[in-house]
Structure 1
Amino acid sequence: MGLSLATAERWVQRWEHQQQRYAVDREDRFTVIADVVEHVTANRAHPLLVADLGCGPGSLAARLAGRLRTADIVAVDRDPLLLALARTRHADAARYVDAVIGEPGWTGALGLDRPLDAVVSTTALHYLSLDALRRTYSELAALLRPGGVLVNGDHLPPDDPALAEFTGRVGHRRAERLHAYDPEDWASWWTAVAEEPELADALAERRRRPPAGTGSAARLSLSGHVRLLRQAGFAHAGPVWQCGDSHVVVAIR
């Protein structure tokens, strides 16, 4: 059974709602990422080339495509069900690639024909181990043109545990005020999607694959990410936006 546009739209909309529980001011974070990419590519004459790492059902790719009309976006994810939703709901936003970020040789799957202008990611890179993250940052630095950027939105705590307690609390209270905890959660979404006949094949493929797991990078602080980025060859790296422990970090090649 094929996946219809109407079905994909329904499940992507529910995905967007449940993700509000986990990313404080998620829409603002998307907007900031697009602002950075738009700024750094403002005077580029050729079609822009952007990679979206851990694209899920195409949430960020679709927003970038709306802002950067001439951009070629390569969107990468390891989850066949989320990629099926992206390819149906946001078919024109990007070229979608099924690959495991951080595995040896994964960049070859991107099929790039020129240096990247920008790499973007949201709440995806923390699934990597520290060694895989270190290697991935170095690989991305090599793929970006001089002056290109890596823009990562994720939960990055401060080094000081006392401050981490405060940033976590600030983000939690902000989410409460926005009623972000009202929608269904991650587990409920996946339980519900398992009952969708049009996604049965994609779900079966997902179950055949090893789980992603949470890598040791999930515990890496903001300063830890900045340090790894500088070691990878980025000339500048640091946060440009923050709400609680949610940050947008920009690294300039």
Structure 2
Amino acid sequence: MDLSAVTAARWVERWECQQQRYAVDREERFTVIADVVEQATRGSRDPLLLDLGSGPGALAARLAGRLPGAEVVAVDADPLLLELGRAHYGGGARARLRHVRSLIGAPGWLDALGLDRPVDAAVSTTALHYLDRDTLAGVYRDLAERLAPGGVFVNGDHIRPDSPAIRDLAVDLGRRHAERNLAFTHEDWQSWWKGAAADPELAPYLTLHDTACHPPCADADLPVSTHVALLREAGFREAGTVWQYGDSRVLAALR
């Protein structure tokens, strides 16, 4: 049975609030990422875009709204989050927004997306930090192989500076910023999932959970120079920071 739109809207709203606890500048990140994608795809009438680790698909939906001619694929491993996204964001003017289940970094993960042409842009927010260095390097290589020449990869996440002393300053700035914006008043990750487990309408999707839904978080905490080096090694010609507040950062890499 499909989720009702009312139920999906309620749980997506709670998800968005919960995410604000961990990324107080999430909406600004979304805007920056969409700006980069719009600029990079300005010559294409129907660009193909990927949102990696999309959750319900807030960023994917914003990209679909910003670029009406685009085909946007929201990619996540969690069946509940994907179904919430389909029920809340799917259809209507966003009929070209698809939600696809795939575990990013697993063997053949891109094959599950049913792509029939090169990708123009791939994006991610607060999702790839759980990958260990080797898996992340593999994901960067996979993306470089699938992106069209001139394509872009944009990643918004907590990515630390190289200097430990500067990192400490950046983390402190981020903490102060979060406190001023009352970020810690939002419910946390565990609370959201506990609430979802108590909702009988969500039960059929929670039974689909397995070890591939939430892989162990490696928490590699790689510095920005390592991300840039891995991107260059993967085949991107340029990579660097386009926005930053504290240790919250948006990286862009050009194919």
Same fold (TM over 0.5): yes
- The match for 2:245 is 243
Residue identity opposite 1:31 in structure 2: T
Distance 2:201 2:211 in 1: 18
Residue identity opposite 1:247 in structure 2: R
Q: Which residues in structure 2 correspond to 1:59-138 (within 5 Å)? A: 59-92=58-91, 93=94, 94-138=97-141
Distance 2:210 2:230 in 1: 33
Alignment CA distance shift 1:208-1:169 (3 Å): closer
How far off is 1:210 after superposition?
6.1
How far off is 1:213 after superposition?
1.3
How far off is 1:128 after superposition?
1.3
- The match for 2:229 is 227
**Structure 1: where are the runs of 5+ without partners?**
none
SS at match of 2:22: coil
Distance 2:132 2:86 in 1: 28
Residue identity opposite 2:47 in structure 1: L
Residue identity opposite 1:129 in structure 2: D
Task: Tell me which of 168, 180, 190 is aligned to 2:171.
Answer: 168
Q: Which residues in structure 2 correspond to 1:208-219 (within 5 Å)? A: 209=212, 211-216=214-219, 218-219=220-221
SS at match of 2:153: strand
Residue identity opposite 2:249 in structure 1: H
Residue identity opposite 1:108 in structure 2: D
- Kindly provide the CA deviation profile for residues 101-151 of structure 1, in whole angstroms up to 9, marking residues without a partner as x: 101111111111111110000111111121111111011001001110000
Q: Structure 1 vs Structure 2: percent identity of aligned residues?
A: 57
2:55 maps to 1:53: no
Distance 1:227 1:112 in 2: 27
Residue identity opposite 2:24 in structure 1: V
SS at match of 1:52: strand
Residue identity opposite 1:239 in structure 2: T
Alignment CA distance shift 1:124-1:210 (3 Å): closer
- Kindly provide the CA deviation profile for residues 164-204 of structure 1, in whole angstroms up to 9, marking residues without a partner as x: 11111101111111111111111111111111111001112
Runs of 4 or more consecutive aligned structure 1 residues displaced over 3 Å after TM superposition: 207-211
Aligned pair count reads 251
- Kindly provide the CA deviation profile for residues 65-107 of structure 1, in whole angstroms up to 9, marking residues without a partner as x: 1111110001110011111101111113421111111011111
Distance 1:11 1:160 in 2: 39
- Kindly provide the CA deviation profile for residues 204-235 of structure 1, in whole angstroms up to 9, marking residues without a partner as x: 2125656411125x311111100100000100
Q: Is the 8 A contact 1:102 1:135 kept in 2?
A: yes
Alignment CA distance shift 1:196-1:207 (3 Å): farther
- Kindly provide the CA deviation profile for residues 15-34 of structure 1, in whole angstroms up to 9, marking residues without a partner as x: 11111110131100000000
Task: Tell me which of 124, 140, 145 is aligned to 2:143.
Answer: 140
Residue identity opposite 1:179 in structure 2: L
Distance 1:209 1:50 in 2: 23
Distance 1:211 1:112 in 2: 24
Distance 1:133 1:185 in 2: 26
- The match for 1:25 is 25
Alignment CA distance shift 1:210-1:111 (3 Å): closer
SS at match of 1:87: helix
Distance 1:118 1:148 in 2: 5
**Structure 2: where are the runs of 5+ without partners?**
none
Residue identity opposite 2:10 in structure 1: R
Distance 1:111 1:44 in 2: 20
What TM-score do you get using the length of structure 2 for normalisation?
Answer: 0.95
Distance 2:117 2:49 in 1: 11
